[in-house]
Structure 1
């Protein structure tokens, strides 16, 4: 990608120093250090026993409901995806734990497989999700500022909607299948709460710091990582600070390095795209063929869904976001609303055949044919796609909280 950008600059006779200038702009971004910090936070959680404790807590709380375990799996996987950034860690690390639980409780193989695959894509809109920060860094321009904190606020209602719609389907399925429910026990709730108290406090800790306005994005990310390390190494003692913690940090550094290299290379192409005035040309072309915001958003959803199924999420963000933002702005779409639409579509793209990332991960993790995973996941894809359409055409979902807090 970096070589491609250099080629274009050479061809146009533009000084290639523009590429290094863009990389410097990336490095000097005040939110960039949050990427390795939050990635490490997610990997430390995934390597610990946090998932087992959270499952026990939510099962004690919601197990009495129809489809209770399926709802619990949806919530827990979404929570882990929030911290792991949709990198596939959720399905690999937590999916192997919850899938046998679903089967043991009597859920059909197809439903269990589809639920784990789909729920592993939820949660990308919540803090401190890495794709939101990445989108903020890449999509922000002089004309269109997209602060990560505002984008997180914009994603609260849409992200919750997607989880609730999947959970509602799980409840319907559990009731129709007559899956046995566990009795509600206040004693078990208290015991499970005590067991998982540190993990349960983490989202409130992060959101509280973030919403207080007293810490920056990077400071919040650093505090979250410090919190997780202290909890998992010294309070729950799931990880040894010298033996197992370094393994988790090394794994996270692999993803971080890949993302930063991708970002650096993509910034060169972005610089060329801007210098060549491609966004302006794209705006003119789109406005010449599409004349309403409704049709533009529909076409955008279709494009992003296809791209999300073909391209890894980080690559899709760094390549497409700089092109999409000015076009959406020309059609009067709020930048925060546009960011939520963009990321929600990429969530759905994880499940979209033929190359959706989660389809391949589940096929590999559970040893099932790709065609079977695709077929089992399709009902969930339809549900998430319906949620994306609601998010797209009801801007209040993305902007209501933002405006209520005076962030718009």
Structure 2
């Protein structure tokens, strides 16, 4: 026995056992993922319990659990959002503008990447330092949460902990990037950072708005993530002008997303991802094919109809394109459709995903503008359905002219009925979501949580095409995707404080109104501006940045805020199919393996159709406002 022990001691090399090293490696790779998935599952369960509590638990005399389930869900959501942001940094997933940097020499690109990492690291450091100071103050003053009565320092710790993890991931990125760059490129990056930040020492007397927007434009042009560009430009302005205290940042980072309605975003994203990769989307495609696949342009029409169905599940344009394009684009090309048209029709149909409710951009607009998300969803129904129907007509005409037909030439009622029965569980999703909201049974956030749970249950136990690994991967992807959006909102709220302080919105409104007193001219200018913004800025980023600036002007010319929300979303939806940022174009192009130029040529008539529809929805408000006003009255 002693000999065996001595042998083990003598053979020990001083290095950790191999399995420990593997365990640490897995922890490093999976740390955020495990916590994100755990958080998602917990607050999906809590919100569903909240709904069940409203209708079933009172009969069981268990009592009202809503007060603490909602509060706990919000706090878990905040933790998950910051963890997801850390994971997004590690995966290098972000929203940014790379029009300029992509055209620069490789050495300059690497230098700018390094300087961006340095700026993001310093901003994160300031959030950690001031975040811990804030929770220290909360501990000293014994602040507690309203429902759970736990110290406020506990939920608020999500901010410094989250940004500390981001710092760790940024350090890892920095180490990895420095291995791939030369000493010259590294010095170039540090020089860029010094040159860009040096003016802060001399801008004390400058106008706050000028410094703020100047630094924001600079950070955008050098390819910084838009969320961090918002935060870093605000920090640079505060350091230069002392406009507001820096310790305001972490408090805003928390309060800006301590908001129950915004939780609908990750739930809808999760529902879309879960249902978009399995049997549900295939059954919807089969149903659409049976209903209209026999017509000229059958598969193009199927793409549009299925996009309308799936839009009522996912709330996302790119998600709709990815789910449908993978299956339909190759099939259309195989049947002889022009590849540019086949890809373009899927990309354009995907825009319906942000118009028909539930729509993530509408949720974001509702939170930023403080308008009713339910009213916005109602406003999106007629424009969304109308867009789908008009696109069907245009695609039919183009296909008939070119002789593009499907394999079937007649309608079969029996097969259609069978396909509808097979797709019944998929067709129930919009009924659950919209029926729950407008029937007064659920809030949008609760409906989204129910949809996510429904997708998991149907995928795992009914269709059985979704295993534990699939659920894990779907929730990780949902966590990363939603965290990118949530971080935009966090940083935009920090950025927005200076906009409010400087009365930028009032200045913009006065300037535009001075150009013309004609409401129709101003509305045309608004549309042109938003179309241009959609060319270069991702839709969600544009919403959180521009809504506080443009909404007061829209109200000043007599636009209903709900109607303006639809106008903004539709403009930015067109941005999904216009380069250089058009997300739907790139998702569809990667599926079809064709050039963007070819898609643009094949898509020109559908794009023109979208612009005509935009003008109709802008100048005939009754199209979008009829349902909201009907409910209001």
Give the TM-score taking structure 2 as reference length: 0.61
Q: State the alpha-carbon separation in 2 of the partners of residues 190 and 156 from structure 1.
A: 26
Name the CA shift for 1:358/1:155 in 2 (closer, same or farther; >3 Å): same
Q: State the alpha-carbon separation in 2 of the partners of residues 328 and 25 from structure 1.
A: 27
Q: Which moved more, 1:5-14 or 1:224-233?
A: 5-14
Deviation at 1:396, TM superposition (A): 0.4
Name the CA shift for 1:83/1:346 in 2 (closer, same or farther; >3 Å): farther
CA offsets, 1:288-314, max 9 Å, x none? 113211111111111111111211111
Deviation at 1:81, TM superposition (A): 4.2
Deviation at 1:336, TM superposition (A): 0.7
Q: State the alpha-carbon separation in 2 of the partners of residues 406 and 394 from structure 1.
A: 19
Q: Which residue of 1 aligns with 2:287?
A: 57
Deviation at 1:12, TM superposition (A): 4.3
Name the CA shift for 1:155/1:385 in 2 (closer, same or farther; >3 Å): same
CA offsets, 1:55-86, max 9 Å, x none? 11111122233333321211212433454343
Q: State the alpha-carbon separation in 2 of the partners of residues 112 and 396 from structure 1.
A: 33
Q: Which residue of 2 aligns with 1:161?
A: 386
2:432 pairs with one of 205, 216, 220: 205
Which structure 2 residues correspond to residues 40-79 of structure 1 after superposition, within 5 A?
Answer: 40-79=270-309
Deviation at 1:400, TM superposition (A): 0.8
Q: State the alpha-carbon separation in 1 of the partners of residues 470 and 442 from structure 2.
A: 30
Q: Which residue of 1 aligns with 2:569?
A: 343
Q: State the alpha-carbon separation in 2 of the partners of residues 93 and 224 from structure 1.
A: 17
Deviation at 1:31, TM superposition (A): 0.1
SS at match of 1:126: coil
| Kept after mapping to 2: 8 A contact 1:6/1:268 | no
1:236 pairs with one of 463, 468, 489: 463
Q: Which residue of 2 aligns with 1:131?
A: 361
Q: Which residue of 2 aligns with 1:354?
A: 580
Matched, 1:400 2:400: no
| Kept after mapping to 1: 8 A contact 2:535/2:581 | yes
Matched, 1:329 2:329: no
| Kept after mapping to 1: 8 A contact 2:355/2:380 | yes
Q: State the alpha-carbon separation in 2 of the partners of residues 287 and 57 from structure 1.
A: 50
CA offsets, 1:365-390, max 9 Å, x none? 22112211222222211111110110
Name the CA shift for 1:391/1:182 in 2 (closer, same or farther; >3 Å): same
Name the CA shift for 1:182/1:246 in 2 (closer, same or farther; >3 Å): farther
Matched, 1:95 2:320: no
Name the CA shift for 1:399/1:215 in 2 (closer, same or farther; >3 Å): same
**Which runs of structure 1 show a deviation greater than 4 angstroms over 4 or more consecutive aligned residues?**
none
Q: Which residue of 1 aligns with 2:416?
A: 189
Select the structure with the greater relative contact order (CA < 8 A; seq sep ≥ 6). 1
CA offsets, 1:11-64, max 9 Å, x none? 143223443443343223220211111111111011212221111111112223
SS at match of 2:261: coil
| Kept after mapping to 1: 8 A contact 2:509/2:550 | no
Q: State the alpha-carbon separation in 1 of the partners of residues 571 and 248 from structure 2.
A: 32
Q: Which residue of 2 aligns with 1:111?
A: 341
Q: State the alpha-carbon separation in 1 of the partners of residues 440 and 251 from structure 2.
A: 31
| Kept after mapping to 2: 8 A contact 1:64/1:183 | yes
Name the CA shift for 1:250/1:230 in 2 (closer, same or farther; >3 Å): same
Name the CA shift for 1:50/1:112 in 2 (closer, same or farther; >3 Å): same
Q: CA RMSD in A?
A: 1.8
SS at match of 2:469: coil
Structure 2 gap ranges (5+): 1-229
Q: State the alpha-carbon separation in 2 of the partners of residues 381 and 12 from structure 1.
A: 47
Name the CA shift for 1:381/1:136 in 2 (closer, same or farther; >3 Å): same
Q: Which moved more, 1:6-15 or 1:45-54?
A: 6-15
Which structure 2 residues correspond to residues 305-320 of structure 1 after superposition, within 5 A?
Answer: 305-320=531-546
CA offsets, 1:88-147, max 9 Å, x none? 23323320201122233332223212211211222312222211111111122xxxxx11
Name the CA shift for 1:363/1:100 in 2 (closer, same or farther; >3 Å): closer
Name the CA shift for 1:157/1:276 in 2 (closer, same or farther; >3 Å): same
Q: Which moved more, 1:85-94 or 1:350-359?
A: 85-94
CA offsets, 1:215-238, max 9 Å, x none? 112211111111111111111111
**Number of residue-to-residue matches in the alignment:** 401
Q: Which residue of 2 aligns with 1:255?
A: 481
Q: State the alpha-carbon separation in 2 of the partners of residues 260 and 19 from structure 1.
A: 15
Q: Which residue of 2 aligns with 1:143?
A: none
Deviation at 1:87, TM superposition (A): 5.4
Name the CA shift for 1:339/1:133 in 2 (closer, same or farther; >3 Å): same
Q: State the alpha-carbon separation in 1 of the partners of residues 415 and 469 from structure 2.
A: 33
CA offsets, 1:338-369, max 9 Å, x none? 00000011111111233322222222222112
Q: Which residue of 2 aligns with 1:149?
A: 374
Give the TM-score taking structure 1 as reference length: 0.93
Name the CA shift for 1:281/1:266 in 2 (closer, same or farther; >3 Å): same
Structure 1 gap ranges (5+): 141-145
| Kept after mapping to 2: 8 A contact 1:165/1:384 | no
| Kept after mapping to 2: 8 A contact 1:82/1:123 | yes
| Kept after mapping to 2: 8 A contact 1:31/1:218 | yes
| Kept after mapping to 1: 8 A contact 2:492/2:544 | yes
1:374 pairs with one of 584, 597, 600: 600
Q: State the alpha-carbon separation in 2 of the partners of residues 113 and 296 from structure 1.
A: 35
SS at match of 2:256: helix
